[in-house]
Structure 1
Amino acid sequence: MTRRFGPAHWLAFLLPLSLLAGVWGAQLIGGLYPCEMCHWQRWPHYAALGIAALAFLVPQPRARRALVALAAVAIAVSGAIGVAHAGVEYGWWHGFTACTSTIDFSGLAPSQRLDAIMKAPLIRCDRPAWTLFGISLAGFNALFSLGGAITILALLRRAR
């Protein structure tokens, strides 16, 4: 019996692999350190990568398809987090974490001001570390992840 791995399966595996390789390269080689929301976007890709890898080991086609669909959902979750993060970066809405807060010095004594500065996040979620054509890394993650998830699900549906 020959196992056939279709384009949906390969995309579900290679998309999170390449996106994670890109952000790790940007971090380790390019010096672009991630904020808290950047890390949130990585976790669903780690899950999708593991799920898609597991699907290569499953002999039953229906179970394999279910795992690939689940990987697509995880990729879409990362894309949704990317939309939320990009919205914070572009100022469309306020952030969800302390890494997007600004320091309010009103009513603080000088010693409290220094303490507030020292507790401020090093990498802010509301400032993009890098952009290309006005699109931040979070924006690119949203585009690639949501587009990839839709493509994977469409390929799975077409293969039926």
Structure 2
Amino acid sequence: MTYRTSVLLAAGGSAALLLGALAFQYLGGLPPCKLCYWQRYPHVAAVLIGALALWLGGRTLAWMGALAALATAGIGLYHTGVERGWWEGPTSCSGTGGGLGGLSGADLLSTEGTVDVVMCDEVAWEMLGLSMASWNMVASLVLVAVWIAAARRA
């Protein structure tokens, strides 16, 4: 496999994962949580790095692509741990917040300014026992290997 083919596969893989996430969101009706959004940003970076790598070539860009894929895999691992209760997630989107103790009855009954929060510690969809965050981690680790192959061929 050539450098160009490896870069196309790696950047294309990130693009496919992004499109899949958007399909789940807009076609499947599964809005993303805060950590889901965090997992998307490195994929966007990997796609942009891939475009640059195809245009300019070079080992450094391939290693940057590997780092972007590794970053989203790491966030996927963190998100999986939050979903499984292995560790606490961000208080803004998980069940570990401060509770309702500080709110008055009027605050609890008011619907003014309410926002639908998608919880980070709830699994919205899973296949073969793995959540979307887990599958993103697995796929992203494969993309890390493809980016490394590209770097070796540069």
Structure 1 and Structure 2 fold alike (TM over 0.5): yes
Alpha-carbon contact 1:95-1:125 (below 8 Å) kept: yes
Please say if residues 98 and 121 of structure 1, whose CA atoms lie closer than 8 Å, have aligned partners that are also in contact: no
Moved more, 118-127 or 133-142: 118-127
Which secondary structure state, in structure 2, belongs to the residue aligned with residue 98 of structure 1? coil
Q: Which runs of 5+ in 2 are unaligned?
A: none
**How far is 1:28 from its partner?**
1.3
Moved more, 101-110 or 85-94: 101-110
Measure the CA separation in 1 of the matches of 2:107 and 2:93. 19
Identity %: 36
Secondary structure in 2 aligned to 1:123? coil
Aligned to 1:71: 65
SS of residue in 1 equivalent to 2:85: coil
CA RMSD of superposed structures (Å): 2.5
Counterpart residue identity of residue 78, structure 1: T
The equivalent of 1:139 in structure 2 is 134
Secondary structure of residue in 1 paired with 2:147: helix
How far apart in 2 are the matches of 1:146 and 1:40?
A: 16
Report the TM-score, using the length of structure 2 for normalisation: 0.85
Deviation at 1:55, TM superposition (A): 1.0
Note closer, same or farther for the CA distance 1:89–1:120 as it changes in structure 2 (3 Å cut). farther
Name 1:27's counterpart in structure 2. 25
1:78 is paired with a residue whose SS is helix
* Contact 1:51–1:67 under 8 Å retained in 2: yes
